[in-house]
Amino acid sequence: MKRLLRSLLVFGVLAAIAAGYLQVRNQQEAYQWKPLPNVGEVRLFAVTHGLKHEINFPRTSWSQRLKNAWQARSLRSLSPSHGSVYSRSASSLSAGSQPSITIWLETRTPSGASVSLQDSELTLPDGQLFHTGSSSGSGGGPTYLNSVSYPVVPYYSKTLHFATTINNQRCEFDFPNPAFRADLPVWTPQPLPQTQKRGTVELTLRALKLEPGYSRYGAGDWRMEPQWTVAMDGAEATRCYGVRATYEDPGGNSAWQIGLLSAPAWKIHATATRTNRFPFADGEVHWLGTLDRQQAPADENCVVFPLDAVPQTSEFKLAGVFGAGQYDIKDGAVTPTGPPIKLDQTKQSRTDWDQQKKTMHLTLEHPAFIISADFNGDIAVFRNAQGAPSEIRDEWSAGGPFGHLVIYPLPEHPVRFGIADKAPLTFEFVVRPPAMPDARAVQSKP
């Protein structure tokens, strides 16, 4: 018995040594130089993760700098500036304090020319893929440092695969994941459907559907399609509320399109807000004016609705009916500047921001209803002559320093317009993420 235990102990030690050797060997291979035809060499330099990314590019010795200067036929390489610190902050990649992972590649070329990374992809062991998030490059002399960042940290993956195109050559790297953690908090997912209640409103998450959502510069090949049902006072009211959700995992990742599928659980943070279909009481709506194509202003004229009665907390900056023409809008004031002109929609925009004058130039080919607002806390309400919701689809929207501007066509019949509070309600659901499909929907890609 003792001999058996001793043998098992020796076997365990040898297995641990072998596993450690293979891990070190794989890591060393990942960081080896690879040839780049007609360019030079490339290697995986570092992988960083968290809220701030910083690495110290080692200073080159005098002998190496002399050699680099000779190869580049330039005295620039003699400068010790190659030892500067290259850093990136995740705050420039996404709102708030979203953690991210950054892949750093070093290239070495005889001429010292910079290279660019194209079509970069990070693939997790379960097949979840993330496309280029944000990239940058810096350096000088014969070496150049490129980085690609993704607004996610794959804590549950022991290994990662990174691929990018340099000078028309596809370069691939497999390496251990330095962000892997086995000590994250444990959340207990609950089966679906789940129902949460806030006051008289019930929100039910019936199912999570994983749908193809390919975008060359998007989060990945998949997006979540949660199936929601809303009830109000016990009656079905799904069309009265819009629901927006974010997906959080125990590692701190949070995204609105799709979460980390390898996480054992998600917290889905859902926000339900009133839509135009909500049965507002008359006192809940600040009525501002009436839209009617038959009463549209003449060219180069407009009727701006007064916002005096709107609460000071409202994010509406401008609302009015405009005739065809050109206008300058600054701080809510409108100035006609010319007759209507025909725009080439493929080359010209209806809105143009003048940064120096802090003025937005607006061009309308036909009469329209204009709203300028941030739309975070307020909603536009439209009611026909019978008081029923009137659906008016916008024909143009744009965002910029002036806020969010929306252009609506004027209705054929009179429609009353007003502003109401979205009255957001927040809910939280703890669920198990859907599994990656066995066969990836490659054919769905454009």
Measured distance CA(414)–CA(12) in Å, rounded: 82
- Residue 315: what pLDDT? 76
Q: Average the pLDDT over each of 19-33, 163-177, 209-223, 340-354 and give the range with the smallest value.
A: 19-33
Do 156 and 53 lie in one domain? The reply is yes
Number of domains making up the chain = 4
Provide the whole-model pTM: 0.79
Measured distance CA(405)–CA(374) in Å, rounded: 8
Mean pLDDT score, 292-306: 96
* 420 assigned to some structural domain: no
| Sign of the torsion formed by the C-alpha atoms of 259, 201, 419 and 325 | positive
**What 3-state class would DSSP assign to 334?**
strand
DSSP for 159-181, please give it: EEEEEEEETTEEEEEEEE-TT--
Q: Average the pLDDT over each of 33-47, 198-212, 277-291, 404-418 and give the range with the smallest value.
A: 33-47
pLDDT band at 90 (very low <50, low <70, confident <90, very high): very low
Do 267 and 354 lie in one domain? The reply is no
Do 211 and 327 lie in one domain? The reply is no
Last residue of a domain, one of 176, 205, 237: 176
* 321 assigned to some structural domain: yes
- Residue 75: what pLDDT? 53
Do 244 and 348 lie in one domain? The reply is no
* Residue labelled with tokens 């009916």: 321
Q: Average the pLDDT over each of 5-19, 211-225, 311-325 and give the range with the smallest value.
A: 5-19
| DSSP-based helix, strand, coil % in the chain, nearest 5 | 15, 45, 40
- Residue 364: what pLDDT? 96
Which two three-digit tokens encode residue 87? 């850093």
Q: Which domain holds residue 200?
A: 194-278+426-444
**Beta carbons within 10 angstroms of residue 12's beta carbon:** 10
Do 44 and 97 lie in one domain? The reply is yes
Instruction: Tell me the average pLDDT of the chain.
Output: 82
Mean pLDDT score, 342-359: 89
* 285 assigned to some structural domain: no
Measured distance CA(133)–CA(216) in Å, rounded: 10
Spatial neighbors of 60 by CB under 8 A, at least 6 apart, are 68, 80, 82, 83
Which two three-digit tokens encode residue 244? 């927006």
More reliable by pLDDT, 106 or 445? 106
Which two three-digit tokens encode residue 189? 């997912």
Measured distance CA(125)–CA(133) in Å, rounded: 19
* 249 assigned to some structural domain: yes
Measured distance CA(329)–CA(331) in Å, rounded: 7
pLDDT band at 125 (very low <50, low <70, confident <90, very high): very high
